[in-house]
Amino acid sequence: MKITDIQLTQDSDFAIASARVSFEQSDHPDKHVYVKTPKAYARGFDANPDAFLVGCLLPALHLKEKRIFVEGAVCPFLKEGVHVAMHILSHWTQGRYVPIPVESGTRKHQNPPAQPRAGMVMSGGMDSLAALRQNRLHYPDTHPAYVRDSFFLHGFDIGGVQERGAKLHVFDRALTAASCITRDAGTTLVPVYTNIRHLCDERDLWLDSFFGAVLAAMAHNFSSRINLMFIASSYDIPNLHPCGSHPLLDPEYSSYGMRIRHRDYEMSRLEKIQIVSEWDTAFQNFRVCLANVPDLLNCGRCEKCVRTMTELTALGLLHKTRAFAADEVLAEDISRFDITIRVRPPFYRPLIPLLRKQGRDDLADTIATLLDGSGS
């Protein structure tokens, strides 16, 4: 793989960091990849070779490229981390992903932001909202790790799957809801758009290996604005497994000037929901839905929505939020899904005793039957 023509340009609306990606071993066509942000948020935004190395790494491994050539100078601290990340990924895939050399110039100097500044990936879901809330509870506003910027990424779930379209109207609606939350928290919401996921849009690659690298790539484009990016955990310690965002993997995408921190993996999903429920603005405006329907922030029908509604029911909280149109979950809502796949059982099994305490034996019995019937 060759990553060339790395440049920063502008059009009437956006600052755009872009590169040309050429595959040397596979028959994939050349791809123009970009990360862009509206001009109003472009302070400290740049076309950083570090960003494109991290963002293109997983497609290169997945498509069995023999090297990654980067036209530009890369931080040696990051190159060491990428080397470690490739060995982690090789172990996770039983050798299917083979570590490959990174060929690039070496950056001799690091120009950090004028002042230390922290950012956070903001999806509007429970993980990122709990992370922002914890930041506000634990850090004084004079501390350099106090989050000043929240980055909301198009091309992640919304607009990430090429065949489903860009769905910019869905992104704008989600951005509006997230802006209520970030405004209340006193952090700047920065919209960012990328097509890096489209380099290889295979679902298993994305979930198992890729998505944390895209978040880290986005961070590196802002390395003259921030020097620390928090990424909220997807799973807690007892349920860690090979995943696109992981506490072993994400920090290895750091450069000397851009630290990536995977946070809150000591906390369970239910603990995070409890934290968010105590922050009313977030609790009324969260977005967990992956269906991205045109008329609702959360569809209330997809597995992620139904699971979250069931978690809220188990905690006695569903009726307290306006984020879902419905305030009740039925057993048939849960039974429509296979809750034994893709590490779903750890989310569902802890709900059984809590649902029984709430008098929802129907939901508890449904979950127990679905899980125990499969041996999960």
Identify which of 212, 209, 173 has the alpha carbon closest to the alpha carbon of residue 191: 173
pLDDT of residue 362: 98
- Interatomic CA distance for residues 333 and 313, integer angstroms: 13
pLDDT of residue 367: 98
CB 183 within 8 A of CB 144: no
| DSSP run (H or E) holding 261 | strand 259-263
pLDDT of residue 142: 97
pLDDT of residue 333: 97
Grouped pLDDT means (10 residues each) for the chain, 376 residues:
98 98 94 98 96 98 98 97 98 98 92 86 97 98 97 91 83 94 98 96 93 98 96 96 97 97 98 98 95 86 96 98 94 96 93 98 98 67
- Interatomic CA distance for residues 56 and 34, integer angstroms: 11
- Interatomic CA distance for residues 317 and 273, integer angstroms: 9
- Interatomic CA distance for residues 88 and 13, integer angstroms: 39
pLDDT of residue 375: 46
Domains of the chain, each with CATH number or no CATH? 2-106 (no CATH), 118-263 (3.40.50), 288-372 (no CATH)
pLDDT of residue 115: 87
pLDDT of residue 147: 98
- Interatomic CA distance for residues 293 and 10, integer angstroms: 31
